[in-house]
A = this chain, B = another copy of it.
Amino acid sequence: MIGMKRMRSNAMPATRNADDTPDWRGAILADPSRVLADGELMIALLGVRHDGNIADLNAAARARLQSEITLLKAANEDLQDMLRGNLAAQASAHAAVMGLMDEPTLAALDRRLAGHTATTLGLEAVRVCLEGITALPRAIAILPAAPGLKAAMLGEASERLGAPDPRLSGPIYGVQASRVASEAVIALEGRGFSGVLCLGSARRDAFRPSDAADLAHFLARILERRLEALLPR
C-alpha cells in the first residue's frame, strides 16, 4: 500500500534520562513520608491512597509496572508494524515508478497505470484526470476532465485523503467506482496540463485524512515528468 502511516508523536510516555537525576529524588529519599502522606501523589503513583496496608501498596506498585509493560509492548509492536509497512510501501512505490519510467508511448503509459501500477500499489484503480485534454481515444486510466475539476476536488490543497467523493466517483472510476472505499487525490501540474492523480483503494482504511502522502506525491511528480514527455504538444 502506498499510503504511509504517520508515527504517533505520543506513542510512549516520556523517558527518564539517566544522566540527569532530578534534585527531588534527594528530597524523597531523605523523607519518604513527604510522598507517602501526599494523597494526590499516591494516587498518581499507585492508584491507591496510603490508608491500606503495605502489602496492598506493593501489589499496586507491581500492577502499575505490569500495566506500563503491557502498554510499552503494544507501542513496540505498533512501531514495528509501521516500520515494516513503510518499507513495504516504499518498495512497491519504487517498483511502480520504475514501471512508469519505461513506457515509450502515452497509450502504453495508460495501460501501465491501469494494470501494473494499480496492482503493484495494491489499489483498485489508478486514474489521471487531465483538465480539458482528451489525450487518448480509448483510455482506461488517463481520462479527460472538465476544467476546474482539480479546484473542485482539492481547492487550494495539494492532496486529499479519505472517503471518495460520491458525486465524482462514478465519472472517475467508472465500473470500479462501487469498489473504491477510500482514495488519495493528488494535484498534477505540468507544462501544458493540469489535473489530479486519483488512487482508489478497496480498503476503507487505506487512505485516511491523517495519513502521510509522501509516496503518492512522489509518484505524482514522476508522473508529471512522464506526461510532459509523452503528451502531444
Q: Which residues of B contact A139 (CB under 8 A)?
A: none
Q: Which residues of B contact A44 (CB under 8 A)?
A: 28-29, 32
Q: Which residues of B contact A82 (CB under 8 A)?
A: 83
A46 on the B face (CB < 8 A): yes
A54 on the B face (CB < 8 A): yes
Q: Which residues of B contact A20 (CB under 8 A)?
A: 11, 14, 27
A179 on the B face (CB < 8 A): no
Closest CB in chain B relative to A188 CB, distance in Å:
15
**Interface digits, A11-32 against B, CB 8 Å rule (1 contact, 0 not)?**
1111111111011111111011
Of B23, B28, B221, which contacts A45 at CB under 8 A?
B28
**Interface digits, A62-102 against B, CB 8 Å rule (1 contact, 0 not)?**
10111011001101110110111011001100100110011
Select the residue from A23, A48, A82 with max chain B CB neighbours within 10 A: A23
**Interface digits, A203-233 against B, CB 8 Å rule (1 contact, 0 not)?**
0000000000010001001100100000000
Query: Whole-angstrom distance between the alpha carbons of A82 and B38 in the complex?
Result: 31
Of B36, B48, B50, B83, which contacts A7 at CB under 8 A?
B83
Closest CB in chain B relative to A42 CB, distance in Å:
6
Query: Whole-angstrom distance between the alpha carbons of A166 and B11 in the complex?
Result: 45
Label chain A's interface by main secondary structure: helix
Q: Which residues of B contact A35 (CB under 8 A)?
A: 28, 35, 45
Closest CB in chain B relative to A21 CB, distance in Å:
8
Could you list 5 examples of A-B contacts with CB < 8 Å? A36-B45, A50-B54, A65-B66, A90-B214, A101-B222
Binding site for B on A (CB under 8 A): 4, 7, 11-20, 22-29, 31-38, 40-42, 44-46, 48-50, 54-55, 57-58, 61-62, 64-66, 68-69, 72-73, 75-77, 79-80, 82-84, 86-87, 90-91, 94, 97-98, 101-102, 214, 218, 221-222, 225
